[in-house]
Each structure stands twice: as C-alpha cells, then as structure tokens.
Structure 1
Amino acid sequence: ILADQQGLEARYTPQGIQLTLDEALLFPSARAQLTGEGLAMLEQISRAIKPLNRHIRVVGHTDDRPIRSRRFASNWELSAARAVSVVAFFIQQGGIAPTRLSAAGYGASRPRAPNDTPGNRARNRRVEIILGQPLVMDVNVKHNEGHEPVRVR
C-alpha cells in the first residue's frame, strides 16, 4: 500500500528494505521542517514499521547545488537535519523506541543520478529509510562478581 504512494519507492537491498522518499514529499526547499503531506506520509510509514523488530536507519541526501540558507552552512548539515527530523517524528509521534533508530546525512556525496538536469537533481534530493535485519532479542546476563571474565576467541 505504501509503495503505491507518489514520491515513495520501496526496494530490497543487501542492507534490508529501503524506502526512498522524494524531498518534495517531506520538506520545503532548503528546510528541515516537515510539511503536512510529509507528516501524513510518515504517520503511515511509522504505523507500518513500528511492529517490525528491525533497526531503522534514516539517511538524508541532497543535490550538489550549494545551499543558500542562514540556518544550514552546507548540504551536509541540511541532509543530516532532515534525517534527524524524520527520526524525531518516529520517536515522538510514531512511538518507535529511540534504540531502534539512527540518522545520517550524506549531503550530495551519494547521488542516484548525475546532477546535470533539474529532474536528476530532484531525484538526488531524498530521504531513505532503511529497515535493517531483524534485531536479536535482548538477553539479561548477570555479572558474577569475583569471577574471571569470559573470554571470547
């Protein structure tokens, strides 16, 4: 159902399931504040991924055009701030445990297409949500004081 949404692509990768969302779906140009449409999309996504026992990595990307903003000195900062905005939404509105989440910004360093046309630059401005391999359940291990530590070879 989610993959049918305009501006959202889903695919399997060696790292896990990757959802790619167009910048225009989530953010105004040169901003990291989510749009109403972006909030609605992330609400749907968070409902779908919350029950999954997987680590969720959010990665922001930009095109190679230098940003002209007082708030962000570079595309690196913008891409990281966008990833953090999505992670914050997942925690605060989606109820996803912070221990399952991470955020990264790659700026223009990992383009999907050459930055030679407006259409290609738009493809490069995106946020990826990567659902990693299933998490191993936490196991409580009691520490036996006074005993030698277990050595793993």
Structure 2
Amino acid sequence: MPGKERLYKLSVLAYLILWFTGCFWLMAAISSGLFEHALGIDLVLLKDYIYYGAAGAIGGTLYAMRLFHQFYDSLTERWVLWYLLRPINCAGAAVMTIILFESGVMLLQTGNSVLAKIGIAFLVGFGYGKVMDKLKSVTETLFNGKSDSDSSDADRQSKP
C-alpha cells in the first residue's frame, strides 16, 4: 500500500505543478500572440477571459499546493479527486465571477482594468470555497426571496 500512496502523492504534485506553471505559460503565450486562431476560434476575442480563467486556476492551484504540503501525510483517494478538480473548478468560477461583476449582477468596482480583473480572478481561485458560499447566498436571496439566515430567523420566531 505505501507504493500506491506514494504514487498518488507524486502524481498529485506533478499535476498541480503542471497546472501552476502551465497557466503562467498560457498567459504569456496568449499575450505574445502565439494562439491568435486555434481550432477555428478567434482567441483574440476571448483573450481577457482566458487570462481570468488562468489566474483563477493559478490561485486555486496555489491554495491546493499549500494544503498538499500541510496535509501531505494524510492524503487519501478521496482528496486526490479534490486536488484534481480544484484548478478546473477555480478557473470556471473565476471567469463566471468576472462575468457577474461585468454584468452588474454582483457589484464590485474594477473599472475597465484587465489587471484588476485578473487579480480578482486569482483571489476567486484562491478563496474558491468562500466564493461558492457567497454565490450560494446570493442565489438563495435572488431566487428564494430569502437567505439561510432569514429562514433561520423565521423558524425561530414561529416556534413558541
């Protein structure tokens, strides 16, 4: 069993390092114009969103590498899946969060600065769990008309 555990650890570490360095490389490649057209898609139109996704993945991967180091001795198969999905989830969440800010659904003043949005995307990736909690709260408020805290208050008031 120790051989399997060691293989998991080396695989997770290699995967996270590839994501971390690969996202920096992707941002540099896009910036240099290396991928102006790929697979029939004009990537120049999507350049900013690729930056946001890569920055979110960098933030999420950095957080995952910190936890990997901190909990190295307690890695289980369950957590391997968490490590594998973390950069992907963070990239998607970063792009969608920036879109929510740009659309005005969520309020945050960033202006038109791409660098500020890249910074926010990084923070979304790094703080992915907290962002998901906030999005859940916003969704509850928008679509149920009340948040969890409101329903808890109502439950407490209705009890004798």
Larger radius of gyration: 2
The TM-score, its normalising length taken from structure 2, stands at 0.22
The structure carrying a bigger strand percent of its residues is 1
The TM-score, its normalising length taken from structure 1, stands at 0.23
> Higher RCO, 1 or 2 (CA under 8 Å, sep at least 6)?
1
The structure carrying a bigger helix percent of its residues is 2
